[in-house]
Amino acid sequence: MPDTQTQTVTLRIPTPLRSYTEEQPAVEVAGTTVAEALEALVDRYPDLRENLYTDDGDLRQFVNIYVDDEDIRYQDGPQTALDEGDEVSIVPSIAGG
């Protein structure tokens, strides 16, 4: 088992959600899967939880998660494995024009 305490990945926070992360565009968290990394994020910023998850604990449909440039829905979903230094992007829908 890799040591979850030492493997860190970068979570890229989109502008609509930066008000929940003290305006940080990127947050470093520990995690060996996407689910662990996101859990670490919402532990740190609890107001983000309802933006990312439904009441049933599933990721919301309008929030897409990418590991590097790949959509996790076409990988292993939240269980998609992460390597040290991977970039996880949260890409919510925006509608301004």
Partner 1 sequence: MSTPTSAPPTDAVDLSPDELKRYSRHLTLPEFGREGQEKLKATSVLLVGAGGLGSPAATYLAAAGVGTIGLVDFDQVEESNLQRQILYGTSDVGRPKLEVAQERLEDLNPNVDVNVHEMRLTSDNALDVIEEYDIVADGTDNFPTRYLVNDACVMTGTPNVYASIFRFEGQVSVFATEDGPCYRCLYEEPPPPGLVPSCAEGGVLGILPGFIGTLQATEVIKLATGIGEPLIGRLLIGDAAEMNFRTLKVEKNPDCPVCGEDPSVTELIDYEAFCGLPSTDAPSTNGTDTVSEDSIPEISVQDFKQRREDGDAPFLLDVREPYEAEIADIGANQLIPIGELLQRVEDLEADPDDEIVVHCRSGGRSAEAVCKLREKGYDAVNLDGGTLAWSQEIDDSVPTY
Only segment of 2-10, 28-36, 59-67, 77-85 that touches partner 1 (CB under 8 A): 59-67
Please report whether residue 13 would count as binding partner 1 according to CB under 8 A: no
**Backbone phi and psi for residue 68, each to the nearest 5 degrees, phi listed first:** 55, -125
Q: How far is the CB of 43 from partner 1 (least distance, A)?
A: 12
Please report whether residue 94 would count as binding partner 1 according to CB under 8 A: yes
**Ordered DSSP codes for 47-89:** GGHHHHB-TTSPBPTTEEEEETTEEGGGTTGGG-B--TT-EEE
Residues that bind partner 1 (CB under 8 A): 14-16, 19-20, 25, 45-47, 50-51, 60-62, 64, 66, 69-71, 73-74, 89, 91-97
